[in-house]
Structure 1
Amino acid sequence: MWISSAPLRISLAGGGTDLPVYARRFGGTVVGVSTNLRVTVVGRPGGAGTEVRACLDSCAAVPSADGLSNPFARAALGRHWDGGRIQLASFGDVPGGTGMGSSAAFCVALIGGLTSGPTGRQGGLRGTELAEAAAAIEIEALHRPVGKQDHYLAALGGFRRLRFERDGTVGAERIEPDPAVVRHLDEELLLFFTGITRDAGAVLASQGDSVRVGDREVENRLHEIKELTAVVGDALSTGDTGLLGAALGRHWEIKQTLGSGVTLPAVDRAYRDALAAGATGGKLIGAGGGGFLLLHVPTAAQPTVRTALAAHGMDEQPFGLDRWGHQLVHVGEVAR
């Protein structure tokens, strides 16, 4: 049996500039960090009977991967499974479609496990190879209009400055903030669930179309979002968490102009109340349209901010920042 897990991530700045339609013209940059919220996939060779037994979105026993309802699992098994009997189950710390990169983390965890054991076609993918294989499931196999930031952060973990070059290559620079800065961010960054799930691909599609047809306004806004990665980098190196909050807020202001599906009136009202209660800034994680609202809130203001968000029906999601990316454990027979 193997147990394979990958972290969910928060993008601090630059989101959207990793989309291939933008990055291949201008080059993209994203600064993000992995969290201690994870997606875990458990796999083992199957016994007699049906070839694939899987509890993913739902439980099923099917004669081949083609019978699975989960498109990511279908595509991953099609590329990385040897066809022998297999049993799979998955678990996630947050619902899918909430902007935390859960589909990428699932692909990283599943492929990392599949390629490590007797059911895989390769000798075990790790690091950037694993990130690229997971990204290929979404971008090449499923033709989703997404970038690679989620896959790299899920595979590598930690604070990262990811550079998406025009030739399609990705540079993944680890950022090492002072431990005291990380502790402050752990205390001052809060996540609240809006209660709304959505398909990130649907939100990103219109943005990609605007860049594809040369919409200068959208291009310039994405340029500005990319420039905010330098501001966030400075905030992480100096420990100026208030500057980070302001950068998150500016990022969100720009992002809301990229398309009509990025925000919702209920989210806007909750965000305004959070600022009035003492948050310095924040944004919806991921493509927008729902999911989780990330806020920077000084410790003294946190009780009033929590009260303000509770009034909007938004539950807080406890989390921490984490340096670990993909992790894999093999479990053998227990000695008797």
Structure 2
Amino acid sequence: MIITRTPFRMSFFGGGTDYPAWYAEHGGAVLATSINKYCYITCRHLPPFFEHKHRIVHSLIENVQTIDQIKHPAVRAILGWAGCERGLEIHHDGDLPARSGLGSSSSFTVGLLHALAALEGRHASKEYLASNAIHVEQNVIGENVGSQDQVSAAYGGFNLVEFHRNGSFSASPVILRQERLAEFESHLMLCFTGFSRIASEVAKSQIANLRERQAQLHRMREMVDEAIAILQSANAPIEELGKLLHESWLCKRSLSDKVSTSDIDYLYQEAIKAGAIGGKIMGAGGGGFLMLFVKPELQDNVRERLKHLIHVPFKFEDGGSRVVMYQPNGLS
């Protein structure tokens, strides 16, 4: 039995420039971190004593004979792409809900790829996990997704991820004083709006508008470098990042009318009134988690103003996808 643990991610700047349709022409970059909320995949070869060949346990329990009969699109695509011939039992558990803007779908894909490789006795590099997760999601499943979530899930850590015109990517840890990174982390809040959405549908509308939104996307790419400069500066107040996040949110919500809603706009304005400096809806938009930049001494005010939302404490993490249990023969 194999168990993998793969983190969710929080993206700060540059989202939208990680769509292949954009970076193939202009290049792209994002500033993002993984957080200590995880997707867990348990995987083992299923003994041949059952009427079914494969058992997939997620929000449904699927007992099937063939891979084509699997309803879960990512599991069906990954097992088909990997050419799995032996029967498998796969369980999925997550710390946070799906369709919430924290890259849960990509964490699932990376985690399952990692588990299958370990089950075969193969070491899977971070580059292997990220690049193949991107391929599976974009080309095998055919989702309208960018390329940042898979990299953050595989590599972990607080990174500058650059996307090159030739289709390759590079992930570089952002070099900061630990005190500065902790100061940034202490100013962030994460709230669940309660609205779920299909990220691919929101992303599709953004991709359709890429040519009409070039000015916004170029500006969003510039903010990546500006944010790193603020973080690495010995003099710049950390609040400058909050202001930059607010500007980034205004750019992001202009990419498509599906990015925000009247309900999301209301929540964001209430947070600003209570003391938030900036923030954004995570992921493609349309719902899910709202990330806010708030001075620590004002965070109680924001919690009170948004008390009907679920507030989720979190920390940055730097482990990326890991095999946390390795018993390939099912023996202790």
Normalised by the length of structure 2, the TM-score is 0.95
Indicate which of 292, 299, 303 corresponds to 2:300: 303
In the alignment, what sits opposite 1:220?
215
SS of alignment partner, residue 146 of structure 2: coil
Aligned residues: 326
Counterpart of 1:146?
A: 145
Paired position in structure 1 for 2:322: 327
Does the CA contact (< 8 Å) of 1:57 and 1:70 recur in 2? no
Contact 2:209–2:256 under 8 Å retained in 1: no
Partner of 1:262: 259
Partner of 1:183: 182
The residue number in structure 2 matching 1:11 is 11
Query: SS where residue 97 of structure 2 aligns?
Result: coil
Q: Structure 1: give runs of 5+ residues left out of the alignment.
A: none
Q: Which residue in 2 is equivalent to 1:78?
A: 80
Mean alpha-carbon deviation: is it higher for 144-153 or for 78-87?
78-87
2-side partners of 1:286 and 1:84: how far apart? Answer: 35
Post-superposition CA distance 1:93-147 (Å, at most 9, x none): 11111110000000000000101113x8xx3322111101111111001111211
Of 233, 246, 251, the match for 1:249 = 246
- Corresponding residue of 1:53: 55
Distance 1:110 1:232 in 2: 33
Identity %: 31
Take 2:69 and 2:123, find their aligned partners in 1: how far apart are those partners? 25
Between the aligned partners of 1:46 and 1:241, the Cα distance in structure 2 is: 52
- Distance between the aligned counterparts of 1:138 and 1:334, measured in 2? 33
Once the two structures are overlaid, the 10-residue window that deviates more, 79-88 or 243-252, is 79-88
CA shift, 1:329, in A, is 2.9
SS in 2 for 1:261: coil
Give the whole-Å Cα distance in 2 for the aligned partners of 1:172 and 1:265.
Answer: 36
In the TM superposition, residue 187 of structure 1 has moved relative to its aligned partner by 2.1
Quick check: 1:157–1:323 contact (8 Å CA) kept in 2?
yes
Tell me how far apart the structure 2 counterparts of residues 7 and 107 of structure 1 sit (CA, whole Å): 12
1:52/1:61 contact within 8 Å kept: yes
For the aligned residue pairs, the C-alpha RMSD in angstroms reads: 1.4
SS in 1 for 2:119: coil
Instruction: State the partner residue of 1:271.
Output: 268
Q: Once the 2 structures are TM-superposed, how far is the Cα of residue 276 of structure 1 from its aligned partner? A: 1.4
Q: Match of 1:222, as an amino acid?
A: L
Contact conserved, 1:3 with 1:329, CA < 8 A, in 2?
Answer: yes
Q: Is the 8 A contact 2:138 2:144 kept in 1?
A: yes
**Distance of 1:54 and 1:132 partners within structure 2:** 24
CA contact (8 A) 2:55 2:62 kept: yes
